[in-house]
C-alpha cells in the first residue's frame, strides 16, 4: 500500500469520524435559550482571542481568518415550532424568508425543512468546538467546525437545515462520512433557495463526489462541504450567486463568493479571477451594484410581516 493509498484511508477515517458528529440526531433540549453559551469558564480560558467584526451587513465575510467580536449578537426571533427541529433563533428577516422557503418546499415537493440550528453565540460556539476538539483532536475538528467568532451561525442569518427526519439534510450524493444523500431535497434547494435569499455556504460540487477534503469548498475555506448549512445573504446577492453558479457550473462557498464580489482581482487566487469578472458582470446585468446588494429588496416587508404575525 503506497503512501497515497494510506493518505486516502486516513482521509476516509477522518471523514467518517466527522460524520458521527454531523449526522447524530439532535439532543432533546429544554425550552431555554442556550444559544449564547456561558460567558465564564471554558469561554474565557479557551476562547480568549476576540474577533474584530461587528456585522449586521448581510455580506460580511466570516471565515477562518476573519472573526466576529465576542460581544456581537444580532437582534433575533425564536423560530416557531413548526419550522424548528429544536429551540433556535434567527434574525427576523432571515426567519421570514426561511418560513416562506419551507412553505414552498412543502407545496412543491411535499417535503419538510426545519431550522436545526440557527443563531449561536460566541461562547456557545466555543463550547461546541472545544467538545469536538477533545473528542476528535483539534486538527480534525478544524475541518468541520468553526472556532468561536468564526462561525456564520453567530450572524443569526444561518440555518443548518434539518429534514422531516430531524437530522441534517444530506447532499446531492453519498459522500463517505457525511449524511445519507438527499438528492431530491438538495436539488430543490439548489434551484429555489435563491428566491428566498439563501445560499449553501459550504457546497458540494458534482465533480467532487466522494472526497470532501479535495473539494473546491475545502480548498478555499478549509472546511469540508456541508450541504445542510444555508445562509441568508439577501435576495439580490443570492440571485447573483445563482446566476453565477448556472453560468460557471460551480457552486461557490459564501467565503469565495463574497471575495469574488469585493476583493481586487489581483488579491484572488488564480482559479477565482475569471469567476470574479463574471460575477461583477452579472451584478451589472441585473441592474445592481455590489453596494446595492445589501439594500432592502421590495419583498422584504412581506417576509418581515410574516414573522411579526406569528
Ligand atoms: Zn452550520
Q: Which residues pair with 200 in a beta bridge?
A: 230
Distance 296 CA to ligand 1 centre (A): 25
Distance (angstroms) between ligand 1 centre and the Cα of 226 equals 7
Split into its structural domains, the chain has a count of 1
Distance from residue 170's CA to the centre of ligand 1 (Å): 13
The pLDDT assigned to 4 comes to 47
Is residue 142 predicted with pLDDT exceeding 70?
A: yes
CA angle 226–48–137, rounded 5-degree value: 45
* pLDDT at residue 48, as a whole number: 85
Instruction: Print the domain residue range for 182.
Output: 51-302
CATH at 291: 3.30.1380.10
In a domain, 181, yes or no: yes
Query: Grid coordinates 482581482 are at which residue?
Result: 265
First-to-last CA distance in the chain? 60
CA–centroid distance, 298 to ligand 1, in Å, is: 28
Assigned domain for 28 exists: no
Residues 269-307 as b/e (b if ≥16 CB within 10 A, e otherwise) read eeebeebbeebbebbeeeebebeebbeebeebeebbebb
CA 266 to centroid of ligand 1, rounded, Å: 30
Tell me: the pLDDT tens digits for 46-82?
Answer: 898 889 998 789 999 999 999 999 999 999 999 999 9
Instruction: Please say whether the beta carbons of 307 and 89 come within 8 A.
Output: no
The mean per-residue pLDDT over the stretch 215-242 comes to: 95
Say whether pLDDT at 205 is over 80: yes
Residues at Cβ < 5 Å from ligand 1 ion? 160, 229
Domain annotation covers residue 101: yes
Task: Please check whether residue 23 lies inside any domain of the structure.
Answer: no
Residue 309, domain member (yes or no): no
Cell of 178: 457525511
pLDDT band per the 50, 70, 90 thresholds, residue 144: very high
Ligand 1 centre to CA of 151 (Å) is: 8
Distance between alpha carbon 310 and the CA centroid of its chain, in Å? 25
Give the model confidence (pLDDT) of 242-276 as tens digits. 999 999 999 999 999 999 999 999 999 999 999 99
307 occurs within a structural domain: no
Distance in Å, CA 284 to ligand 1 centroid: 31
pLDDT at 84: 97
Bigger pLDDT: 233 vs 175: 233
At 37, the pLDDT band (50, 70, 90 cuts) reads low
Work out whether strand 113-117 and strand 158-163 pair parallel, antiparallel, or are unpaired.
Answer: antiparallel
Backbone dihedral region for residue 156 (phi beyond 0: left; psi -120 to 50: alpha; all else: beta): left
The answer to the question of residue 43 being in a domain is: no
Compute the C-alpha angle 272/238/280, nearest 5°.
45
91 in a domain, yes or no?
Answer: yes
Per-residue pLDDT for 87 more than 50? yes
Amino acid at each position: 500500500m503506497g503512501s497515497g493509498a494510506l493518505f486516502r484511508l486516513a482521509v476516509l477515517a477522518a471523514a467518517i469520524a466527522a460524520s458521527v458528529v454531523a449526522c447524530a440526531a439532535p439532543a432533546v433540549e429544554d425550552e431555554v435559550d442556550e444559544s449564547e453559551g456561558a460567558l465564564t469558564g471554558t469561554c474565557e480560558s479557551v476562547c480568549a482571542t476576540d474577533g474584530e467584526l461587528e456585522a449586521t451587513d448581510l455580506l460580511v465575510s466570516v471565515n477562518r481568518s476573519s472573526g466576529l467580536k465576542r460581544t456581537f449578537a444580532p437582534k433575533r426571533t425564536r423560530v416557531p415550532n413548526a419550522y424548528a427541529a429544536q429551540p433556535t433563533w434567527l434574525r427576523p428577516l432571515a426567519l421570514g424568508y426561511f418560513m416562506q422557503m419551507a412553505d414552498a418546499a412543502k407545496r412543491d415537493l411535499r417535503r419538510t425543512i426545519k431550522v436545526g440550528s440557527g443563531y449561536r453565540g460566541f461562547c456557545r460556539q466555543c463550547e461546541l468546538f472545544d467538545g469536538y476538539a477533545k473528542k476528535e483532536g483539534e486538527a480534525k475538528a478544524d475541518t468541520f467546525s468553526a472556532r468561536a467568532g468564526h462561525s456564520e451561525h453567530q450572524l443569526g442569518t444561518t440555518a443548518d437545515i434539518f429534514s422531516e427526519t430531524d437530522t441534517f439534510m444530506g447532499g446531492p450524493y453519498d459522500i463517505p462520512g457525511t449524511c445519507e444523500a438527499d438528492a431530491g431535497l438538495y436539488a430543490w434547494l439548489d434551484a429555489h433557495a435563491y428566491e428566498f435569499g439563501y445560499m449553501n455556504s459550504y457546497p458540494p460540487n458534482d465533480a467532487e463526489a466522494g472526497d470532501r477534503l479535495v473539494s473546491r469548498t475545502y480548498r478555499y475555506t478549509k472546511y469540508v462541504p456541508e450541504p445542510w448549512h444555508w445562509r441568508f445573504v439577501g435576495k439580490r446577492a443570492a440571485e447573483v450567486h445563482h446566476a453565477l453558479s448556472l453560468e460557471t457550473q460551480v457552486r461557490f462557498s459564501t467565503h469565495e463568493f463574497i471575495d469574488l464580489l469585493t476583493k481586487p482581482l489581483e488579491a484572488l487566487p488564480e482559479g477565482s479571477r475569471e469567476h470574479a469578472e463574471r460575477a461583477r458582470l452579472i451584478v451589472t446585468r441585473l441592474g445592481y451594484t455590489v453596494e446595492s446588494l445589501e439594500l432592502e429588496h421590495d419583498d422584504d416587508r412581506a417576509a418581515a410581516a410574516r414573522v411579526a404575525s406569528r
